[in-house]
Structure 1
Amino acid sequence: MHFRTFLTVSTLASATLLRAQTATATVELDKLEINAGKEAVFSLPLDSAPASGSRLGLANRDLPVSVSVITQEVMQLRGLRTAVEAVEAAVGMTGGTQFGSIPTYSTRGFGSNSVSVMRDGIRQNTASQSSRTVDSFLLDRVEVLKGPASLMFGEGAVGGAVNYLSKAPSPVARGEAFVSAGSWDSYRLGLGWGGPLPLGTKEHPVTARVDYSHNETAGYVDRNAQRYDAVAGALAWQATDRLKLSFNTTLLKDWNESYYGNPVVYDGVINTTIPGNTNVEVRTFNNATDRMVNPRVVAAARTTNYNILDNYAKTENTFSRLRAELRLTPDLELRNEAYVATQLLKWRNLETNTWNPVTKLVARSSFLHIYRDDVLAGNRLDLIHRGTIAGRPNRLIVGGFFERNDLTRGGTPFGLPTTASSVSLLNPAETSGPGDPDYFMKTSKVLIETAAFYVENALDLTNSVKLIAGLRHDSIDLRRDTLVTPANPTFARYRKSYSPLTGRAGVVWSATKAVNLYASYSRAAEPTTQLVSFTATSNDFALQTGRQFEVGAKGSLADGKVDFTLALFDIEKNNILASTLDPVTGLRVSQQIGAQNSRGVELAAGFSPADGWRLEGNVAWTDAWYGKFAENLGTGVISRTGNTPSNVPEWVASAFVVKRFPGGFALNGGVRYVSDRFANNNNSVIAEGYVTVDAGASYTWHDVTFTLRGRNLLDEEYQPVAGTTMWRLADPRNLELSARYTF
């Protein structure tokens, strides 16, 4: 299957904010140049301007929120192969792959669709609908904005937002080639080049960038082969002294034999709804009421895959942007951006395999065909003014956008069974699934149109105090048309509209020349479920709301040898769906009366004690709980108030050290700790905490760097994403040998 191609044509005009405005700003730029080496190679780039934190081009140290930046150089140094591994390098972030091949993230007590995932600022859909594994070779950096992010990225993102940013054209010709081979027949290839083209002139240059990556593995589990191919291209043209045009596009293609996890074997269950109960019952586990007795993954079944033989998940995704930046006057700039994103996904899997302690067999169910054909198109226009208010420097952006997300959804054809026969734990019968593996029944068309208006302003109240605030208003219109005959005709067509108002306000105080203190308040809005899945049963539900208070510090100490960030946060998410009993009828009903809370502390620091040394570490403590929440058990309602949400660790900590020796040798290593997490709202299933250790040794000869890297050297058996009756375990101990050539 080939990539779909498309052409986006738009008449555009705009310009980015200039970092230098006055003589004072010029001094700041000199400081940036001095620190350029440190900013690129190590984390905590406090003087860079993350695109995910503000549209005003503010330096990270001047933002009243937490933004982690993981550069391409950091990815190379630490051997971070995918965007998921890069994100986990940020303070307080956990991530992994679940649902066959979909990455997911958790931070500050929230996960799943509460953490938005974007590509160059484009969010194709919620994470569980469109997120795919991305090779880190294609990325310039990964940015992680912590806490409510609706000001920047619209509905969703109460917990945070992850933004994958592509490599940009280079004014100087340079290229790189990368190859690696590792355990389980794994190998990666990467080839990229950027530089000026002969089409331009010295005054009006044309620059370009092109990259290709291939990532393939047989997987440590049986029948878990994976392939990821991607190509990215970018062009930039300084058309006039005032106008710059740029275009970039990325095409991704992946194919997977899916592994959903190992069935958890247990001896029996204990009903936790009975106080003091110790009676062990030999029956299947109930996630809402039970605790397993002696849960485990049998070592002999560690690499067994219980999926059907003809399972697969394959996608083709594209992301393209056409951007214009126009300086109207020295103080006024216009920026316009048109973008298109597409997704074509076909998915055929048997997704559930659970242990039955009575039959001593593995029960298999949840046979699904999934089809998605999505086209997202939009246009954003920003006007930026840099001037003064009452003689004080001020930066203002006023902007808006309109986008249309046209989605076609499909599922399992009528008449096909959703379950398969039970199989032996150690010797499962390998069979193909029912029906035509290439046939998908299209079930609905969904159209989501969003128009937004936003304003953001940064005012220097004094030489040491900045006031930064922004507001955003969205108008969201959703239409869903059923393509198959529904049982209830009223469900054939569905309409819904939302108009959330979100924003952020903060103050930054330069306590010293090198240390800033800040405080902020932010708000977000999030649907009760992903918008594309809304039906008439969702009609009475409003958007969930989230708010965050955050205070912190960012700065450098010991003459720039130590960089640090410190953040304390408090988040509350309201209007969560919870179950109650109608006092008149006694029927179970869903109402938006639930709340989820979290509070915590995050600290990250980097230290250069001597030439050739770099030490970095971060630690995050999170206390998360349901402020008010109840679940429908089918036979009644049970309160979860005070329980911890699933997949939220109390502690996440990591440390990394690198030592460079004369002659081109270098050693590096890292350790990461994630504490216990609950796997269900009942808090009866615990995913045990884990410690992983990675290490690498490299040698640079001329323009080639050879690296031998070991991962999970302790051979820890752990779950990146907590599961209940199925544990999707991480890779065991493995090795990789790589070579990188720069030219």
Structure 2
Amino acid sequence: MQHQFGPSQQTLPCVRTLTPASNAVRLAVLSMALAAPIMLAGMSVSAHAQSASSQQSYQIAPGPLGAALAEFAAASGITLSTDSAQTRELTSAGLTGKYSVDEGFTRLLEGSGLEAIRQTNGGYILRKVAPGTTTLPAVSVNAKVLDPTTEGTGSYTTNTVTIGKWEQSLRQIPQSVSVLTKQRMLDQNMTQLEEALDQVTGVQLDTTTGASGAANLVARGFPITSYQYDGVPQTFLGTSYTGYDVAVLDRIEVIRGAAGLLQGAGNPSATVNLVRKKPTHEFAGSVAASMGAWDSYRSEFDIGGPLNASGSVRGRFVGVYDDRGSYVDYQRSKKSIFYGVVDIDLAPATMLTLGLQQQQVNAVPSIFGLPRYSDGRSLGLPRSTNLTPAWNRWDQDITEVFAGLTHRIDNDWKLNFAFNGSHQQQDFKRSVTSGTAANGGVVPGSSNASIYTGIKWHSDGDRYNLDANADGKVTLFGRRHDVLIGVNAQSYNVDTKGSNFLPPVAIPDIFNFDPSSVPEPDAGPYTSGTTATTKQYGVYGSTRLNLSDPLKLILGARLSWYKTQTDNHNFVTGVTTQGRQIAYNSELTPYAGLVYELNDRYSLYASYADIFLPQTTQFTVGGKELAPIVGSNYEIGLKGEFFNGALNASIAAFRIDQKNRAQETVGTPCAGAAVTGWCYEAQGKVRSEGIETEVSGKLTPDWDLFAGYTYNSTKYMKDLLNEGTSFRTQTPRHLFKLWTQYRLPIDERRWSVGGGINAQSSYYALNGTVKSEQGAFSVLKMSIVYRYSDKITASLVINNVLDKVYYSGIRGVNFGNVYGDPRNATLTLRASF
């Protein structure tokens, strides 16, 4: 299909502010309305015409050739007609400096095999260079190069992801995939992983813990527990990702639904791949400083480039210091980060990567938020309320080393080896607040309505993860097919110790509590502890069969071995109780997908994927462990790719069935050395289903857009007590996210404005029959950016512009009810060199 870049008469209608009562439905319609026209037609770009011989300045970032040409045409004011097939999978090194139109085209098209031909009407068309024609020797555009790096592209999307081990386009993956690029992180001033993932389609941020920087992340009704670093599956350490800083990341890739083939054990929610920054081939760096609400300050540096004359050794180093206040009284955190990575070319086809990352956090948290009235109503306390003593603290220190080796055997095969190991140490001394009335919430009319207790806890954890694989191509039945085989292993060992050092203490007046009024007690010695070990390893393989030019069949499977054991220590008596070892052997995880390319723009897909989750605390009547929970993900969808990958869109329908959930064997208590309590059987089943749609990328060279909408319902399909009801009532049925950034056509396009909205429908938590509700709400965010030069920028980001009062997490009547952030702003100055 032909694209025409140039002057346009098209305008888009204004979008009115949505009222809270109807925002979920309207936002759903808006998201689909945004996706529909993009997936049905090309777009036009407007500009003022420039003569072919006059020169002007350009600042076009490297990226897809089609997008670079579109930006060049808009800036030059000329009309360029192209066929998307001509520039598909071609990339450009960009254009910086003063050029005429003809000179600019020559530079942008170097090495592409294409040339721009001026027409009698003043417009241009692209055509292949005639045989025998000499072009400039420099090669700045490579055919069919899939580069997943998002840094420096200025884009909200990427033409390639690596979460499936292969480097492949979004259209080639038969599941819902989102990419959070570096540009979006910068435009929205994202600094922590939790707030970054909160901007991803279908991901819900649930802050019920209330700890400084700690949150639960949920997708499709299930907690997200599957993480990867640069494609290497990680053993989940819970708070390992608390306050994780995104300054070291190039992008975040999220595949929703089950991903057992990649990960092994886990939930059928989503898998998050954290892709770190890599060394650059040329010297480059940046510094940044921020200041914001509640006396928050942040500074960053990022520098990299060749470390020797030949450039065969390259390094990159990132440092961050973040001193962050809070709208909650006395809550504060200080974080420091160092990240260093070195790439070494051992041979033309072999590269070694070595790296170190360290993060240290010292926080004064407000643990577990606020209670509610015993009838489920909010207490109506100010958002600044802290019902825990000011001596609370939570310290965390994580040191990680990682290494990777890649070797290309020839043009078809590549060997990959990656390892990372980390040590995590945590200390906290904290109080836990809960409602009274036998923990049934705060009695209406009561002021002496809450209690707190003290807990001291320490942990030392070690995590080791490795992955080795080979990917390449084979020829079968006259066609080329992709093959991947590999192994990975994960090991997690942690020692903990703790004590309860404070008996329950009543708060005299919950509505007038001063956290500094409570003297810090002596915590005394640790009284108990645990030693936990979890190991998992597996072998996996998959193939992409080219059944025909448009039809691809993806088949894969994994065999997993999983083992865990927890021993309990009583430091008072000196007795250690050895825990039971839970083991699952040869767990098979299959995968199947089908992708049909309708044309060079659209792909239809269908897929099946599953994942298993060990059950480690329930046992059968015979004292054996239950079969693992299995989550099966069924999905169909349509994906579209526009402007040679500058814009991507998708829509999908999904269903997840999770079976083998533990159910009590009614009337059959279990007793004995191995089992205490009730017996269970693996008979429960739940279902999560819905639709998702997303648009991300450039509508024009000056207009970036992201929009994502999710409809999700959850239900108990088979359960002794809850059949037919929602299995996760805190999952909103409607979740909508929008962010857009536009460079204004004034003052040499130095100014940009951005805006977005996060909206969701109502949800609730249950304590028995008592319902605690949060109504539908939407939160508005805005930004203003000024580019003093191509090296220096200033940005102001305003969160919760309308100062909406809402709960970002609801646990119930006892605790875990956390307010969302009030209106706040952050000013950032950034300079690159």
TM-score range, shorter chain: 0.7 to 0.9
Q: Do 1:193 and 1:209's aligned partners in 2 also have CA atoms closer than 8 Å?
A: yes
Change (3 A) 1:333 1:44: closer
* TM-superposed deviation, 1:644: 4.2
Match of 2:497 among 410, 413, 420: 410
| Match in the other structure for 1:280 | none
* TM-superposed deviation, 1:535: 14
Alignment partner of 1:322 is 2:403: yes
| Match in the other structure for 1:158 | 268
| Match in the other structure for 1:106 | 218
Match of 1:615 among 694, 705, 711: 705
* TM-superposed deviation, 1:251: 0.8
| Secondary structure of the corresponding residue to residue 56 of structure 1 | coil
Change (3 A) 1:38 1:310: closer
* TM-superposed deviation, 1:68: 0.7
CA distance in 2, matches of 1:40, 1:189: 23
* TM-superposed deviation, 1:522: 0.3
Match of 1:427 among 512, 519, 529: 512
| Match in the other structure for 1:208 | 315
Q: Do 1:340 and 1:376's aligned partners in 2 also have CA atoms closer than 8 Å?
A: yes
Q: Do 1:261 and 1:729's aligned partners in 2 also have CA atoms closer than 8 Å?
A: no
| Match in the other structure for 2:347 | 240
* TM-superposed deviation, 1:116: 2.3
CA distance in 2, matches of 1:694, 1:534: 49
RMSD: 3.2
| Secondary structure of the corresponding residue to residue 471 of structure 1 | strand
CA distance in 1, matches of 2:619, 2:288: 44
Q: Deviations over 1:486-529 (max 9, x none)?
A: 99989424212112221321011111111111110001001236
Q: Do 2:800 and 2:824's aligned partners in 1 also have CA atoms closer than 8 Å?
A: yes
| Match in the other structure for 2:757 | 671
Alignment partner of 1:578 is 2:656: no
Structure 2: 5+ residue runs without aligned partners? 1-85, 92-141, 436-440, 671-676
Q: Do 1:260 and 1:728's aligned partners in 2 also have CA atoms closer than 8 Å?
A: no
| Match in the other structure for 1:655 | 738
* TM-superposed deviation, 1:324: 0.9
Q: Deviations over 1:324-374 (max 9, x none)?
A: 112234433322222212211112221233253164323224532222211
| Match in the other structure for 1:182 | 292
Change (3 A) 1:35 1:128: closer
Q: Do 1:628 and 1:640's aligned partners in 2 also have CA atoms closer than 8 Å?
A: yes
* TM-superposed deviation, 1:551: 0.7
Q: Deviations over 1:225-279 (max 9, x none)?
A: 111211111100111112110112211111111113553443xxxxxxxxxxxxx
Q: Deviations over 1:563-585 (max 9, x none)?
A: 31111100011122234522799
| Match in the other structure for 1:707 | 795
Alignment partner of 1:523 is 2:607: no
Match of 1:503 among 586, 590, 598: 590
Q: What is the aligned residue count? A: 674
| Match in the other structure for 2:78 | none
Alignment partner of 1:298 is 2:411: no
* TM-superposed deviation, 1:75: 0.6
Q: Do 1:262 and 1:297's aligned partners in 2 also have CA atoms closer than 8 Å?
A: no
CA distance in 2, matches of 1:409, 1:432: 26
Alignment partner of 1:51 is 2:162: yes
CA distance in 2, matches of 1:405, 1:376: 5
* TM-superposed deviation, 1:383: 2.2
Q: Do 1:336 and 1:380's aligned partners in 2 also have CA atoms closer than 8 Å?
A: yes
Q: Deviations over 1:526-572 (max 9, x none)?
A: 1236x9x9999996333211001011111135887753111110001
Choose 253-262 or 619-628, whichever is displaced more.
253-262
CA distance in 2, matches of 1:538, 1:145: 37
Q: Do 1:685 and 1:724's aligned partners in 2 also have CA atoms closer than 8 Å?
A: yes
| Secondary structure of the corresponding residue to residue 361 of structure 1 | coil
CA distance in 1, matches of 2:767, 2:293: 37
Match of 2:200 among 82, 87, 90: 90
- Rg larger in 1 or in 2? 2
* TM-superposed deviation, 1:183: 0.7
| Match in the other structure for 2:563 | 477
CA distance in 2, matches of 1:552, 1:713: 35
Change (3 A) 1:345 1:484: same
| Secondary structure of the corresponding residue to residue 819 of structure 2 | coil
| Match in the other structure for 1:5 | none
TM-score by length of 2: 0.75
Alignment partner of 1:313 is 2:394: yes
Change (3 A) 1:490 1:612: closer
| Secondary structure of the corresponding residue to residue 720 of structure 1 | strand
Match of 2:554 among 468, 475, 478: 468
| Secondary structure of the corresponding residue to residue 267 of structure 2 | coil
What amino acid sits opposite 1:733 in the alignment?
R
Q: Do 2:192 and 2:243's aligned partners in 1 also have CA atoms closer than 8 Å?
A: yes
Alignment partner of 1:334 is 2:424: no
Alignment of 1:97-136 (within 5 A): 97-99=207-209, 100-101=211-212, 102-111=214-223, 114-121=224-231, 124-126=234-236, 128-136=238-246
| Match in the other structure for 2:62 | none
Q: Do 1:626 and 1:645's aligned partners in 2 also have CA atoms closer than 8 Å?
A: no
* TM-superposed deviation, 1:192: 0.4
| Secondary structure of the corresponding residue to residue 347 of structure 2 | coil
CA distance in 2, matches of 1:302, 1:516: 47
| Match in the other structure for 2:483 | 396
Q: Deviations over 1:162-208 (max 9, x none)?
A: 2222111111211111111111001111110111111x525xx1111
| Secondary structure of the corresponding residue to residue 483 of structure 1 | strand
| Match in the other structure for 1:281 | none
| Secondary structure of the corresponding residue to residue 163 of structure 1 | strand
| Secondary structure of the corresponding residue to residue 398 of structure 1 | strand
Change (3 A) 1:512 1:651: same
* TM-superposed deviation, 1:93: 1.2
CA distance in 1, matches of 2:453, 2:635: 42
Change (3 A) 1:350 1:445: same
| Match in the other structure for 1:646 | 729
What amino acid sits opposite 2:175 in the alignment?
V
Alignment partner of 1:41 is 2:154: yes
% same residue: 21
Q: Deviations over 1:60-114 (max 9, x none)?
A: 2101111111011111112223222221222111114443142321111222xx4
Q: Deviations over 1:671-707 (max 9, x none)?
A: 1211111223768222222111111111111221111
CA distance in 2, matches of 1:336, 1:573: 33
Change (3 A) 1:432 1:34: closer
CA distance in 1, matches of 2:718, 2:822: 39
| Match in the other structure for 1:369 | 456
| Secondary structure of the corresponding residue to residue 171 of structure 2 | helix
CA distance in 1, matches of 2:431, 2:623: 28
CA distance in 2, matches of 1:420, 1:536: 41
CA distance in 1, matches of 2:563, 2:794: 53
CA distance in 2, matches of 1:491, 1:626: 36
CA distance in 2, matches of 1:655, 1:363: 39
* TM-superposed deviation, 1:382: 1.3
Match of 1:224 among 323, 331, 345: 331
CA distance in 2, matches of 1:123, 1:365: 38
| Match in the other structure for 1:387 | 474
| Match in the other structure for 1:347 | 428
| Match in the other structure for 1:449 | 535
| Secondary structure of the corresponding residue to residue 346 of structure 2 | coil
| Secondary structure of the corresponding residue to residue 715 of structure 1 | coil
CA distance in 1, matches of 2:645, 2:262: 31
Q: Do 1:505 and 1:520's aligned partners in 2 also have CA atoms closer than 8 Å?
A: yes
| Secondary structure of the corresponding residue to residue 212 of structure 1 | strand
| Match in the other structure for 1:514 | 601
| Secondary structure of the corresponding residue to residue 766 of structure 2 | coil
Change (3 A) 1:419 1:680: same
| Match in the other structure for 1:142 | 252
| Secondary structure of the corresponding residue to residue 137 of structure 1 | helix
* TM-superposed deviation, 1:33: 7.9
| Secondary structure of the corresponding residue to residue 238 of structure 1 | strand
CA distance in 2, matches of 1:123, 1:719: 33
